[in-house]
Amino acid sequence: MAGLIAARPRVSAKAYFGAVALATALGIAAAMLLRPAFAHTVLELTGLESVPQASADSFYAQRVQPLFQAHCIGCHGSERQKGGLRLDSFAATQRGGKHGAVAVAGDIKGSSLFERITLPATDDRAMPPSGKTPMNNDEITVIRLWIASGASGTLPARAVKGAPRLVAPVTIPELNPSAVVKKRAPLAARVAQLRGRFPGIVEYESRDSADLVVNATLKHDAFGDSDLRALAPLGARIVAADLSGTAVTDAAAPLLAAMPVLRSLRLMRTKTTDATVTALAGSKTLKVLAVGKASPEALAPLRRKGVRIYEDADGG
């Protein structure tokens, strides 16, 4: 169903495509006026505008960006850009969303970012939206201070006064039960046996450690040198021992001094003397020593090695 005739152009193709190029450029210009974020992207891509960068020591990098990371980038990050807004970089934050800047330097009331995070949770426009963890008061204060101080990417964190104290997040590592069992295996049988004989006295230092902690204080006089000798097979793993108030004497000193990983030892209200303190002077691992009776001369070598010494005020 085709035919062929000679065509006489009304407008030359050259003129037409020139007009198209002009109209397209005007369209892009209009879109840039209506969408500031788009405008910034175009200007940055064409090298007409530098990409704003935040410095590592800035209030933004240290206090603000982590909050965006925690609360916002699920919907305003690389995968989703709700409202045309990205908050995963300083440049993107500066660009704002499809309705313009979200953080206006020094203008808290004019900053939709601040407005949205302070709306009541029942408001449809509240951010983060319902079902997501809202920012707490300290976090909102951080955002307020950032905007009030100029929404800068370079203002140092220390220059912003009144910011809530930064609380470092604590992450508890995943426990690997099989690795713990493997680590504890060499002494597991002995530990089980002695824990049976001395209930509550021998414990592992932590849930994933093979190191041991001995605390015999509740046994008082019922725990003496012979009991400590019974624990000798575990000596290689004992990192802390609290023998305060027990019946141990200087006879236990060689045993204590031979513990290769002992870091903390408490001997208050025992019959130990300078002899025990002197024997411990050779320990390479001891960091803390609490004693009752001990002379400054006996303690001096330990002090010189940086061992923290705690002395019983009553001399007991």
Partner 1 sequence: MADEAVTPKPLHVRVWDAPTRLFHWTIVTLVFVSWLSADQGYMKVHLCSGLALLALLLFRIGWGLVGSTTARFSDFLHPPRTVIGYVKGLVGGEKHLYAGHNPAGGLMVVAMIVVLLAQALTGLFANDGLHFSGPLALLISDDVSTWITGLHSLIFNAILLLVWCHVVAVGFYLFVKGDNLVKAMITGRKPHTHVPEAVRIAFTRSYIALLMLLLVLTAGGAAWFMIQGGAFL
Residues in contact with partner 1 by CB under 8 A are 1-13, 16, 20, 24, 74-75, 79-82, 98, 124, 129
Taking the complex as a whole, how short is the minimal distance between the CB of residue 189 and partner 1, in angstroms?
47
Q: Which among 315, 265, 257 has a CA at the least distance from the CA of 289?
A: 265
Taking the complex as a whole, how short is the minimal distance between the CB of residue 121 and partner 1, in angstroms?
14
Q: Check: CB of residue 113 under 8 Å from CB of residue 92.
A: no
DSSP SS3 for 264: strand
Nearer to partner 1, 76 or 184 (CB): 76
Q: Which among 164, 125, 133 has a CA at the least distance from the CA of 146?
A: 164
Taking the complex as a whole, how short is the minimal distance between the CB of residue 45 and partner 1, in angstroms?
15
Taking the C-alpha atoms of residue 115 and residue 246, their distance in angstroms, rounded to an integer, is 64
Taking the complex as a whole, how short is the minimal distance between the CB of residue 133 and partner 1, in angstroms?
15
- Dig out the tokens for 7 from the structure: 């065509």
Q: Check: CB of residue 142 under 8 Å from CB of residue 67.
A: yes
- Beta-sheet pairing, 212-215 with 202-204: antiparallel
Q: Cα–Cα–Cα angle for 52, 53, 55, nearest 5°?
A: 145
Taking the complex as a whole, how short is the minimal distance between the CB of residue 280 and partner 1, in angstroms?
58
Please give the full DSSP string across 20-77, using - where no structure is assigned: HHHHHHHHHHHHHHH-HHHHHHHHHHTTSSPPP---TTBHIIIIIHHHHHHHTTTTBS
Nearer to partner 1, 122 or 178 (CB): 122
Nearer to partner 1, 64 or 72 (CB): 72
Nearer to partner 1, 37 or 256 (CB): 37
Amino acid identity for residue 119 in this structure: L
Question: The sheet that has 288-291: what strands, in order across it?
Answer: 202-204, 212-215, 238-242, 264-267, 288-291, 308-311
Q: Which residues of 218-240 are buried (b: 16+ CB within 10 A; e: fewer)?
A: ebeeebbbebbeebeebbebbbb
Please give the full DSSP string across 153-189, using - where no structure is assigned: SSSBGGGSTTPPPPPPPP-PPPP-HHHHHHHHHHHHH
Nearer to partner 1, 16 or 310 (CB): 16
Taking the complex as a whole, how short is the minimal distance between the CB of residue 64 and partner 1, in angstroms?
21
Taking the complex as a whole, how short is the minimal distance between the CB of residue 116 and partner 1, in angstroms?
12
Nearer to partner 1, 32 or 148 (CB): 32
Nearer to partner 1, 24 or 285 (CB): 24
Nearer to partner 1, 124 or 174 (CB): 124
Burial (CB < 10 A; 0-12, 13-18, 19+), residue 287, is: middle
Nearer to partner 1, 132 or 303 (CB): 132
Taking the complex as a whole, how short is the minimal distance between the CB of residue 72 and partner 1, in angstroms?
11
Taking the complex as a whole, how short is the minimal distance between the CB of residue 67 and partner 1, in angstroms?
18
